[in-house]
Each structure stands twice: as structure tokens, then as C-alpha cells.
Chains A and B, each alone.
Chain A
Amino acid sequence: MAGHEARTGLLLVLPAALFFAVFMLYPFFSAFWYSLTSWDLVSPPRFIGVTNYVRLFQDDAFWNSAKVTAYYTVGLLVPMLPLSLALAMLLDRKLRGRAVYQAVLFAPTVLAAVVVSMIWRVVYMPQGGLYQLVTAPFGLPYIPWLNDRHWAMPALIIVGIWKNVGYYMVIFLAALQGISPSFYEAAKADGAGSWQQFRHITLPLLRPITLFVAVVSMTRAFQGFTSAYTLTGGGPADATKLLPLLVYEHAFSFNEMGDASAIAVIMFLVLIVLALIQFRTFRPEA
């Protein structure tokens, strides 16, 4: 009986395991193998050991992209996660027109990334752009959003927040609605204020969801590509050249698949380490 159940279980797991092996494990090990080769996609790959990694660690462009990616990830996550939670808490109340607010906030999530970029390009346009039209009458200074090394990254971060905040808000909202009101009623009876309720009930009970949101949003931010590709092309002067853009450039402009794979492997390892740290930080308390 136990053997039969085990076989059934294995059979049920098999499709997912096969999918994982073909679409996750195989590409990763392929990328790792190619990262140890010199391969221009035309000639056969030539094994060169860790040369690509050594070259990358000596390459200013790689370190610049690593810093730019860290800036983008932190710059996106730090305001976006509290904002998503705050919006979720607002919409968790009995509010008139709540469904409309939800739909409006969630709408950018369903737009294609390229469409989002086109919308924001119109906002950031130096002549006749929406930002300029709205701010100029108030005497606010002109900001060369996409043409200035200091402003280009904040411009991308704003786009990232606008596109994603609704998605994480919905996740937080679902989690908030799963918290039993009895916890809050008991706390109120004990004289707890709003902040204490948030601090000692909401936050601890949201821990697993916060972990999920933190890991997923970090992974997605780390893989940011479309807005940088379409809005700034990585410029000006590489100020927004995120690591995925560097991978793309090495792979498809320079035909250096070894270098591109090495960057991808490094990104993967960094993400794994960061995810493990998050798992430790946000793990449910015993």
C-alpha cells in the first residue's frame, strides 16, 4: 500500500519535476558550462576555465553594472514594499469606491512593460512632456529625467514602483483579509492603540507574505530590463546599465556568450544568497 502510494506520488510529481529539470536545471547547468568557455555562437565552445570570471572581476563595466543594479533594487524595494502595504491597509478598510481604487492601482500591473515605458517616455519628455506641463506653471525646476546621470535611475525607479506597487498591494491585501478580526478585538479590549495593533499583530502575521513579497520583488528588480532598455538604453554613460542589459549586450551585440553566461551565473548566485538572507530574516518565529 505504502509502495503504491509512493509510486502514485512520484507519478504526480513527475510532470513538475520534468518541467523543473528541462526549463530550470538544464539551462542553469548549460549557462554554467558556457560560462567556462569562449563561445561566439558560431564556432564550437572552447573550454577556458574561469577566465571569463577573472576578466569580469577586473572589468569596470561589470562593477558599474553591479552597483547600478544594487541601486535599482534597493531604490525600488525600499519605498515600494511599505507603500504596497500602506495602500493595502487603506483598501482593507470599508471605503467608498474601494473596487475602483483597487482596479486603478492594479491596472499598471497588467500593462506590457513596453507600453509602460512608452507612457513614461511621454511623461519624461523634455519638451511638452507631462511632467514639464504639470510642474512648469508652479515654477518647479525642469528635470532632465532621462538625459542626466543623476536623474535617469530615479526615473526608472519611479516607473518600476508605478508598474509593480498594485501587484504587491493585492498580495498584502489578501493577507490582511486573512487575519482574523478577533485578534484586533482582543487587543483593543486590552487597550492596544492602532500602532501597537499594527506592530504586534499585523506585522508578525504578515511575516510569511512579507517574505514572499520581498523575495519575489527583489528577484524581479534584479532582473529589470525592459524599462532600462526602452527608456535609457542603459545610459547616459552607463548610469542605468543594469546587469541584464550587460548580459544582453555581451550575448547579442558582442556575441560573447561565455561572458554573458558568467554574468548570469554570478547574478544567480547573488540572488540565492540574498534570498537565503531574507528567508532567515523573515522566517516565522517559533
Chain B
Amino acid sequence: MSRIGRRTLVTGAVSIAGVAAFGSLLRDTARAQPKTLAYWGHNYPSRVKIVNEIMIPGFKKDAAIDVDHSVLDTSQLEPKILTAWVGGGEGPDLVSVGDYNLPNYVYRKMVVPVDPTAFGLTSQAELIALFEPHALDGFIVDGKLYGIPMDQGSISMVYRKDFFREAGLDPESPPKTWEDLIEVAEKVTKRDASGRVTRAGLGWEARTNTSHFYYWGTLLPQKGVDFLSRDGKTNGFNNAAGMAAFQYLFETFNTWHIAALGLAPTISPIDDFGAGRVAMMNTGFWLPPSLEAQYPDVSYAKGVYGVMRLPQFKGRTPATRLNPWIFVVSARSRLQREAWQFVAYMTKDPKSQAIWATQAQYLLPFKGMSTQPDILRIPYAKIFLADLAIGVPTPRTVKFAELASSVANGYDRISANGERPEVVVPDLAKQVDRLLAE
């Protein structure tokens, strides 16, 4: 065993000290770098444009925090967020998602409550007071507020006035009830020589499992029931009212043939409506800006399409579906306060609210939203605001993904297989009851 010389020892010690000093320098340099938030959102063009071109540069200038904005296809957003958050890494600090995800996120402790200090406030109560009464109720779990709305959406309907004219219908008198809609839809439906629908009078856009809740799923609350019972412990549709709602869905495909499946390679509400594959369809306030950006000829101002209240069933209490999208912050994030600061930057300032309202037609339910001149200048805003007032939230359950998968299967059986509601509804009810019991 050779002895270690003094020179070797000194050289070694100096080297170690040098490496440590260099490491420390690197760490300090890294700390001095501007922070970067990871934000994931869906691929709605107007949202992407606002975030990329206005919000991120503005926030960087104000707070010296950069934002890495990832845009994901709507159908891929939720599984990717779940995978990222439950996987080994940190995943995104901030995401914007449909509010129906919230029970699952909170149950699995994936998200954190809103930090009021990031909004320049001292308490949650002060923050809630900034919003319309009850606007945030759906995002509070066990007294804690977990989400800030990016859009307090609700479902109304758009219709092609040009097709109405072509069919000899009055484009200024769209149907007010589902019963009346059948006759109108039959007139604007187009079929080829074999009788196959090439333009659906009524478009049920089954883009993702969750989209069912906003399209034909609105029929259930309009019949006074919903997918879940009031206490959320069993199904709420295996009854006469629920059966009637499913019967209407069935008849649109199999009796009146005014709805059709897969008219395009990809299901996109904007494309289906803009390209004229559907004449009427449920939608939110958000659709027109992107529709007109992609299909400039399909213009509201030129009378190519119109907006109407969502039809109701005769003699029933009016209802529609609420469709809020919310900002939530990851429990694993090391930049939680910064993430809420970015949300505050994007939403709290009236100027920001005006940008969302005019460019993306997102309704941020801060106090006074319904009287904001920027919103009221949009000619059809009052229609959506009226439907917002009768909105019913999506079912609240930690098993929402499973529920949505079962609902999508039930829809397929009725629409594609032509199975009758008397067969499908009890099966679906059994599935829903079982998953709620687990």
C-alpha cells in the first residue's frame, strides 16, 4: 500500500474545493435565472392566441416569470395531465381543464387551494366576494376554493340561417322546443340518393366522452333528472323522465334520421358547423370567434348563421348544462404561488377580462360580468347570458372518467347500434350504480 504524498493530498483538497465552489456557482446562477412556469391548456385557437401573445409576455414583464405554455388536443388533455401529475416528475404547475375533473383531482390530492395572496387579497372570502354570487360554488370542496374559472360557460345553440332560407324556413324564427325542432331539422337535413344523411339537421357532437354531457346530455336536466341522483349515490336516469330523454336521442337517429354519425374524419364542432355538415348544434359562447376565424364566409354579421336559446321540452322547467373551464394548480408544483399569480394576471384585471370576453368569448364571472359593455356589445351575448342563468352543473363524482366512458358506450349503443332505450338505459344504470358503489 503506497502512502499518499502531501502534494497529492493538497491537490485533492483543492480540486474538491474547486468542484464545490463551481457547483455552488452553478446553483446560484440557476437560482438567478428567471422562473419558468409550466402551463398546459387545450387547443382552442382563440385561447392559445391570447395566452401566447398577450398574457405570457405581459406576465413576464410584470413579474419576471416566464411561462412555458403547452397546447394539447382537447381529447388528450385530461389523460396527459393525470399521467404527468401521478408519474415520477412534477408535471405542469398550472392547467386549465373542465370543472368536472375537480372532484377527482381534490380526492387524489393532486391540486391545491387557491392562494388569495397571489390575487393581492388576504382571505378566500375576499376573493369569492369579487365574483358573482354562487359563481364559485362548484369549485369549493370542504370549504376550500380549488379553481378559478377561465370560462363560466353554458350551452345554447347555433344554427345555419342559410340552410333555413334554402329550406324555405324563416331564419329569424328558430325552434324554441325540442318538439318543434324535429320538423325544422327534417327540412334542413340533406340526404343522398340512398337516403343517407349528408347534412345533419341536428348535430350531437360526440367528440370526447365528456362532450356527451353538453350535447344530448342536456336533455336529462331538461326532463328534471340527470345522470346521477341528487345525492350522487346512484344513477338518476333509470326512470320515466330519463327514459323519455333517451327516447328523444334514439329518435333523432333512428326514427327521424335528423342526426348522423361521423360525417367527417375528425369530430370537430367548429368544422362540422363551418363546413355545413350540421345545421343546428349545441354550443357555448366560445364557438363564434374560432368559427369565423376558420370559416370567414360563415359570418354572424352577414346572416349566415344565428344563435338561439337552447330548445326546451314543452311544459318542463327550462334548463341547460353549465360548462365551466377552470384553472387549477398542481400540488406537486414548486411554483404554486407564482402559478396563482399568473392566473390572477390573466383574470383579475378588467382589461384582461375584456380581452377574454371579446377575443375568445370566455365569460369570467367577476361581479358585473352580465352588464359589462364589452360583453353586451356582442350581439348574441344576451342569449348565452340568459341560458347561463338556467345552467345545471355536470355530475360531481370522483368517478367522472368512468361515468363518462359508460355514458359514451350508452350513446354508441343507441346511435350506432340502434338499440332501444328500454334495453340500453337499464344496462347503463346498472353500470353507473356499480361504479358509484365501488
Contacts and interface: CB of A to CB of B under 8 A. Distances in A.
Contacts of A144: 261-262
A236 B412 contact: yes
Interface string A43-87: 100000000000000000000000000000000000000000000
A180 interface: no
Interface stretch (A159-167, A196-204, A249-257): A249-257
Given A40-B108, A42-B86, 4 more contacts: A126-B262, A127-B277, A147-B261, A252-B83
A267 interface: no
Interface string B247-275: 00000000000000111111000000000
A122 interface: yes
Contact of A255 (B108, B261, B409, B417): B108
B408 A253 contact: no
A242 interface: no
A146 to B, nearest CB: 6
A273 B92 CA distance: 43
B109 interface: yes
Q: Rank and list the top 6 A-B pairs by shortest CB-CB distance, nearest first.
A: A236-B416, A41-B86, A237-B412, A147-B261, A236-B412, A42-B108
A145 B35 CA distance: 50
B79 A237 contact: no
Chain A contact surface mostly: loop
B194 A147 contact: no
Given A42-B109, A126-B263, A237-B412, A253 B79 contact: yes
Nearest to A251: B83
A236 B417 contact: yes
Interface string B394-425: 00000101100100110011011100000000
Contacts of B79: 252-253
A125 B267 CA distance: 12
A185 interface: no
Interface of A: 40-43, 121-122, 125-127, 141-142, 144, 146-149, 235-238, 249, 252-255
Given A144-B261, A146-B262, A147-B416, A255 B86 contact: yes
A42 B79 CA distance: 15
Of B110, B399, B405, most buried by chain A (CB within 10 Å of CB) is B405
Interface of B: 78-79, 82-83, 86-87, 108-110, 194, 196, 198, 261-266, 277, 399, 401-402, 405, 408-409, 412-413, 415-417
A125 B264 contact: yes
Contacts of A43: 108
Contacts of A255: 82, 86, 108
A1 to B, nearest CB: 34
18 contacts: A42-B86, A121-B266, A125-B264, A126-B196, A127-B263, A142-B194, A144-B261, A146-B262, A148-B416, A149-B417, A236-B417, A237-B412, A252-B82, A252-B83, A253-B78, A253-B402, A254-B402, A254-B405
Nearest to A59: B434
Contacts of B261: 144, 147, 236
B416 A149 contact: yes
A237 B401 contact: no
Contacts of B416: 147-149, 235-237
A32 B198 CA distance: 50
Nearest to A43: B108
A119 B161 CA distance: 34
B409 A237 contact: yes
Contacts of B402: 253-254
Nearest to B110: A42
B189 to A, nearest CB: 14
B196 A142 contact: yes
A249 B401 CA distance: 9
Contacts of B399: 254
A139 B110 CA distance: 57
Nearest to A55: B438
B101 to A, nearest CB: 11
A254 B78 CA distance: 11
Contact of B417 (A121, A146, A237, A254): A237
B334 to A, nearest CB: 18
